[in-house]
Amino acid sequence: MKPKLPKLLQTKIYKTGQSRGADDDVIFQNRVKRNSTVLIPYQYTAPIIYPEGEGSFEKGFIVLITPQTYFNDQDIDGSLKKRGLILGVNCLVFYETRHDWDKYNPEKLKWEPAQSRKALLGGSYVARVPATTAIESGGKIIRGFTTTRNKGAGIRLYEYANSETIKKVRLQLEAVYWLTYNSVEVAVQNKMPIENAEIRCKETLKECEQYGLLNYALLRKARIISKDNQTICPLCREKLSATGFFSRMAQAEGREVPDLTVTEINIFHLDELRYGVYNHKPYNLGWGHHHCNVVTRDIGISKTLEWMQQVLDRNKNY
């Protein structure tokens, strides 16, 4: 058994296998594993695209169809059938606007809100309608998947990764930590005995190599490591210090908050997460500066660099 990592580093690596956060006002689950039930917008079901080499999702899926699409299709049952969908079994009508709620009110139709992520879903619809002050009784409308155990219907389609992929990503990301130029030293500073740090580093890199996760050429091509095989930020390409895995972000003077938990270095998707592809996978994740990650947003490295070049060009010619 490999020695334990420092707790903060272990937590950071573990969280890479979870979906992003979500509050009660949205349909998504908050911080659950990426192999959880997948929510698929109806427009992405002709056909449903699974990850390469897979023919299903580990914990199934639920298709969300808008009220306008559902109620304005004269042959909606036939349309659903062509896509292998049945309302209340693997498909739900999803209310997001007050206009749709008023026009196609499911309660007047005697419909029940869904409660289960597995067939049968326990109902025909789910609702997450925001509050409004424009009308009386304009409070939030939240129906379905509201219990503590079943809060949120599932995860975003593009966040999905199966159990094996999650395991490989975590292993590779730990290896990339150990490839920082001062990884062992910083692990020791964070209360990991030096002999344990050296053993864990060696065993993790060896395990990665066995699984085909330590191809240095591919890691360099993906902007995860430098020419001398040390970890870099994928956007700015600065060599990363392992200290950033444990250091909280610096805060602007006078604007400090006591509960800041964001560290200087965070997980970094090289090709962005988006519908139609599954980019939470080995050789597409590295570690990068928090501020570089913010700049990259959800558009990926290439488009970010193009935008940055345009900014530089405009400033040169100003």
**pLDDT higher than 90, residue 176:** yes
Model pLDDT, residue 138: 82
Model pLDDT, residue 149: 87
Residue 12 in domain = no
Number of folded domains that form the chain: 2
Model pLDDT, residue 289: 96
**pLDDT higher than 50, residue 130:** yes
145 and 193 fall within a common domain: no
Confidence of residue 202 (pLDDT cuts 50, 70, 90): very high
The mean per-residue pLDDT over the stretch 186-200 comes to 98
167 and 291 fall within a common domain: yes
Residue 2 in domain = no
Residue 263 in domain = yes
- Among 102, 128, 159, the domain boundary falls at 159
Confidence of residue 135 (pLDDT cuts 50, 70, 90): confident
What does the mean pLDDT of the chain come to? Answer: 94
Model pLDDT, residue 15: 96
Residue 278 in domain = yes
Model pLDDT, residue 251: 41
**pLDDT higher than 60, residue 175:** yes
**pLDDT higher than 90, residue 253:** no
**pLDDT higher than 50, residue 256:** no
Residue 33 in domain = yes
Model pLDDT, residue 136: 74
32 and 79 fall within a common domain: yes
127 and 180 fall within a common domain: no
**pLDDT higher than 60, residue 259:** no
Confidence of residue 261 (pLDDT cuts 50, 70, 90): low
Model pLDDT, residue 133: 77
**pLDDT higher than 70, residue 255:** no
237 and 115 fall within a common domain: no
Model pLDDT, residue 252: 41
The mean per-residue pLDDT over the stretch 245-258 comes to 57
- Among 159, 174, 189, the domain boundary falls at 159
Nearest residue to 134 via CA among 103, 86, 108, 99: 99
Residue 184 in domain = yes
Residue 14 in domain = no
Model pLDDT, residue 24: 87
**What domain range includes position 81?**
19-159
Residue 143 in domain = yes
